[in-house]
Amino acid sequence: MTSPTASQAGEAIIRRSGSDGVAASPSRPATQEVNWNLRYDIHLGATWSRFMDGLRQRKLLANSCASCSRVFVPPQAYCESCFEPTAEWLELPAEGTLEVYTVAWHGFTGGPTPPYAIGGIRLDGASTLLMHHVVGVDFDSESDPKDALPFGTRVRAVWAEERVGHVLDISHFEPAS
Q: Can you give the binding site for Zn ion, defined by CB under 5 A?
A: 65, 67-68, 79, 81-82
Contact 103, 117 (CB under 8 A): yes
Q: Which CB, 70 or 122, lies closer to Zn ion?
A: 70
Cα gap 172→164, rounded to integer Å: 15
Q: Least distance in Å: CB of 55 to Zn ion?
A: 24
Bridge partners (DSSP) of residue 106 are none
Q: Least distance in Å: CB of 123 to Zn ion?
A: 18
Distance of CA 154 to CAs 71, 124, 137, Å? 19, 10, 12
Q: Least distance in Å: CB of 146 to Zn ion?
A: 33
Q: Least distance in Å: CB of 97 to Zn ion?
A: 22
Cα gap 53→46, rounded to integer Å: 11
Q: Least distance in Å: CB of 48 to Zn ion?
A: 19
Q: Which CB, 61 or 155, lies closer to Zn ion?
A: 61
Q: Which CB, 128 or 171, lies closer to Zn ion?
A: 128
Q: Which CB, 89 or 159, lies closer to Zn ion?
A: 89
Q: Least distance in Å: CB of 131 to Zn ion?
A: 21
Q: Which CB, 80 or 140, lies closer to Zn ion?
A: 80
Nearest to 167 by CA among 73, 98, 91: 73
Bridge partners (DSSP) of residue 134 are 117, 173
Angle among Cα 157, 39, 61 to the nearest 5 degrees reads 30
Q: Which CB, 62 or 135, lies closer to Zn ion?
A: 62
Contact 64, 80 (CB under 8 A): no
Q: Residue 118 belongs to what H/E stretch?
A: strand 116-123
